[in-house]
Amino acid sequence: MNHLPHAWGRPRDDVYGHYNPSYLPTSLGGTQHISSMPTSHTQSPIVTGTSVIAIKFKTGIVIAADNLASYGSLARFTDVKRLKPFNKKCVVGFGGDVSDMQYIDRLLMSLDVQQNYAGSAKEMDEEDGGSKALMGANNLHTYLSKVMYKRRSDFNPLWNALLVAGLDEKDAPFLASADLLGTTYSAPTLATGFGAHLAQPLLRNVVPDEKAVEGITREKAVETVRECMKVLFYRDARSMPEYSIAVIDGSGVELKTDEKLENQSWAFAETIRGYGTQTVPVFVEDQDQIRTLDEMREYLPEDGLSAAMDDHPFRTATDPGEFRDIYLAAAQAVERMPKPRQLEISFDLQVDAGMGQGEHEFSYAQGATESWYQESSVDSKVGWGMFPTVEMDDQVPKAWKKVGEVKGATIELYLSEQNEHYINYRLIH
């Protein structure tokens, strides 16, 4: 599903062609008289909330959502609480339309009033096994999914993606989603909206399956969710750094509604060169000095960096030796790609100010970088000590040789900080 709430439920242009707007109101491109127009319900959400994320741990659930309600791209309301607690055992997290969320919240309110007809939750706790008589999160989820499905079957959907988190009738952790189509899904980690793309993989790294839940502590779960909220704030433009987080376990619901993201670091943003795959030539050493890839493999450490590359798709080299290793590994990765190869790589070469030539020792065996460095036109123009960012596209070093192109791989290469040499590379398949 598309992560933009506006696109939910719409036919895709690339599949179905351009949307025929003739029956819409004239303001939206309609051409018909009002009396002949069909009944229509909500066609798109108006004020929206973005992702909700949640993760199970051994004895409970952690769920979080930020406090923003957007009006299109405008950050319209910044104190909107999108996590709603229910009867000490459940929390519902709402993504999507905020007014529909308010409607559902009223349903929850009246459901709660009804549940308390037979005695309040407080009184039930006093009785033996009282909390088992409370509605569990699974019961609440079933109810909400029926509401959502009924409304979508009426062609009048509630434009939301919900996560229901809490304890079930047997006080075991429960987590499931329901959305505007009435679709339901359950997993040990869940995320709606943008979070489904950005946070879910990170959550799954921690809890890959139901079995792994046993090994997760409350602290670990909270830390993971907070980290994900940070990533979501970095990359989701409809998000904000203030958020709500709730932990539900045997001791009840602990809901905090004005948390702030801590230790933000936007350094990664410097490396972003637009989104999507990019096609850039890749080079190896100059013909004179070049070794064949087979020869280069000799330089690989015994444990094999290629394996390391698969395991750690993002890596930073801090010394020249490692620089070389990674470079070789990258070259090897290129070799592994099936032909025809189309390598999409971006190289960033940065040299910070304040570095004199004499202070540099480029002792790479291949000398590739060194030779490029010396022959760089920037070098002669700006002189030592004032090197701006240099794009490899522009500054193809003589010593490098284009070996081919590989689609879907990105290598980012840096030289920066005094006497420290960083290479960042990522491989994206």
CA distances from 35 to 19, 40, 86, 230, 403 (A): 22, 13, 44, 50, 66
Enter the DSSP assignment of 280: B
Q: Is-contact 91 245, C-beta < 8 A?
A: no
Footprint on residues 60-79 left by another protein (CB under 8 A): 69, 77, 79
**x/- letters, 160..199, toward another protein (CB under 8 A):** ---------x------------------------------
Residue from 42, 142, 183, 257 carrying the catalytic annotation: 42
According to CB under 8 A, which one of 135, 203, 334, 390 is a site residue for another protein? 135
Six token digits for residue 290: 């070049």
CA distances from 211 to 33, 90, 165, 216, 346 (A): 59, 22, 18, 10, 39
Tell me whether residue 163 is exposed, middle or buried, using C-beta atoms within 10 angstroms of its C-beta: 0 to 12, 13 to 18, 19 or more.
Answer: buried
Q: In this complex, which beta carbon is closest to another protein, that of residue 119 or of residue 408?
A: 119
Residue 136: CB minimum distance to another protein, A: 8
Tell me whether residue 103 is exposed, middle or buried, using C-beta atoms within 10 angstroms of its C-beta: 0 to 12, 13 to 18, 19 or more.
Answer: middle
Six token digits for residue 72: 């299109």
According to CB under 8 A, which one of 44, 142, 342, 395 is a site residue for another protein? 142
**x/- letters, 99..118, toward another protein (CB under 8 A):** --xxx-xx--xx--x--xxx
CA 208 centroid distance within chain? 16
**x/- letters, 311..350, toward another protein (CB under 8 A):** ----------------------------------------
Residue 425: CB minimum distance to another protein, A: 44
Which secondary-structure segment (H or E) carries 323? helix 320-336
Footprint on residues 350-409 left by another protein (CB under 8 A): none
| Known catalytic residue at 42 | yes
Q: Binding of another protein at residue 122 (CB under 8 A)?
A: yes
Residue 169: CB minimum distance to another protein, A: 6
Q: What whole-number distance in Å separates Cα of residue 428 and Cα of residue 313?
A: 8
Q: In this complex, which beta carbon is closest to another protein, that of residue 13 or of residue 79?
A: 79
Total site size for another protein, rule CB under 8 A: 35
Q: What whole-number distance in Å separates Cα of residue 174 and Cα of residue 140?
A: 11
Q: In this complex, which beta carbon is closest to another protein, that of residue 97 or of residue 348?
A: 97
Residue 98: CB minimum distance to another protein, A: 7
Q: In this complex, which beta carbon is closest to another protein, that of residue 7 or of residue 172?
A: 172
**Which one of the spans 9-17, 124-132, 213-221, 298-306 is the region binding another protein (CB under 8 A)?**
124-132
Q: In this complex, which beta carbon is closest to another protein, that of residue 138 or of residue 366?
A: 138
Query: How would DSSP label each residue in 345-414?
Result: ---EE---TT--GGG-----SS-HHHHHHHH-HHHHHH-TT----EETTT---TTEEEEE-BTTEEEEE-
Q: In this complex, which beta carbon is closest to another protein, that of residue 50 or of residue 224?
A: 50
Q: Is-contact 95 161, C-beta < 8 A?
A: yes
Contacts of the segment 35-39: beta carbons below 8 A, 24+ positions apart: none
Q: In this complex, which beta carbon is closest to another protein, that of residue 140 or of residue 282?
A: 140
Residue 203: CB minimum distance to another protein, A: 25
Residue 88: CB minimum distance to another protein, A: 14
Q: What whole-number distance in Å separates Cα of residue 332 and Cα of residue 97?
A: 49
Q: Is-contact 253 316, C-beta < 8 A?
A: no
Residues annotated catalytic, as ranges? 42
Q: Which residues bind another protein (CB under 8 A)?
A: 69, 77, 79-82, 98, 101-103, 105-106, 109-110, 113, 116-120, 122-123, 126-127, 129, 132-133, 135-136, 138-139, 142-143, 146, 169
